[in-house]
Structure 1
Amino acid sequence: MNDDKHQIILQAQVWGSVGEQQTLQPAVTQLKQQLDKLRAPHSATKHTIKFTADSGFNSEANLAFMAQSGFDTYIADNQFRKRNPLFKESETYETEQEKRRLKRRNGKPRLFTSADFHYDETTQICRCPAGNEMWCSGDNLKSHHQRYTRFCGYLKDCKVCPLQEQCMRKPPIKTGRQVQFKNDESRKQLSYIDKMKVKIDSPMGRRQYSKRLGCIEPVFGNITVNKGMNKLTLRGQAKVNAQWQLYCLVHNIEKLQKTMH
């Protein structure tokens, strides 16, 4: 894992597993520990960190974990390109129904509804599509013979939220986004995968996720091509991990040396 501005590697680890999905959670945990060490102790503001990963890490368990991580996460599914309006001229990627919808809204994505918010009735915790926790502004409210629970986003979060245009019709002034849920156990819960599809398909989501290629691939290119590490020459997880981290260390020294000049 590396940052997109200087391409400094912040987390490097060999996990010794064939699949990659199960490596996300321990890797992010290590990353957060690294960031806590690097963060200034008297920092006045904390910017929300944007985190991207390829579709190989997209799973319900991983997205549920990232929703609690505090990162602004973008992990696409393996069908996200087929839903991209850039391919609207191709019948393979865009249906006629979606074309008509985009035409009616001048290409703008649909606004978030209550179904796009994650509400856990057991813990009474609600999180918006951007992953921010909301506060309960009313419990067991009654309207039209139906009882509701209402949540409101914190104004400080809504004002700087990258999904604001898709969430609110007007920029927030006094209060953040409000959403209410019926007190009904049978209310359908959208999965984290479905919510991530909505986020990735938004203009902000596509723009943010498109940066991933230029962020991570040059790092692998530098190590494998320029540094000549196109295969691991040792055996055993401990040795392989040491070899990989040494190459990452050399990469970081080179990047830091360039930023100092």
Structure 2
Amino acid sequence: MINGYIPDNQFRSRDPKFKDHKTKYKNNTAKKVKPNSKFTTSDFKFNAKDLTCTCPAGEQLSFRCQRTDKNNNIKVFFEGRLLQCRNCTLKTHCMTNPDAANHRKGNGRQVSFILKKQHKENVTDWMRERIDSDKGKQIYSHRMSVVEPVFGNIGSNKKLNRFSLRSKTKVQSQWRMYCLVHNIEKLKNYGQLAA
């Protein structure tokens, strides 16, 4: 296991330093709503206690089965009755293929819900705990000021973000050349060569 501090993709949402970043760049993060978007699972009313489901039109969906998926989550499946979906006025907003309800071997709208989610410990959770600790925040803030600017300069400013050679030794040599370019620029801008 790597003894490092590598942030997950939700790190900034938990860090108080980035709490205003969405309001600052509001235009970039605004979600566009599609004009004729379909109903999602969240539009259906699911009662986990009674194992019942009601569609947006107010009709009761029939319980199909309960299964365990590949992540060991227990899921329940519901399906709309064929006659209800066939005569429904909302079927164009509900079903991806509204014509499926028009023939006798067709299906109504099908939805599934996670009844019980299994939480297994994984490396991402372990790293999230490390970064969110006081020591992790200190180490990562140090990394943001020491390590990240180097990779940002080499990759973004200098556009040295591809290796054109193969084999480990050749790539190591090419990487050392990239680092040499970065160090020469630092000496030019900030330091003096010893005489």
- TM-score where L is the length of structure 1: 0.30
Q: Whose RCO is larger (CA < 8 A, sep 6+)? A: 1
- TM-score where L is the length of structure 2: 0.39
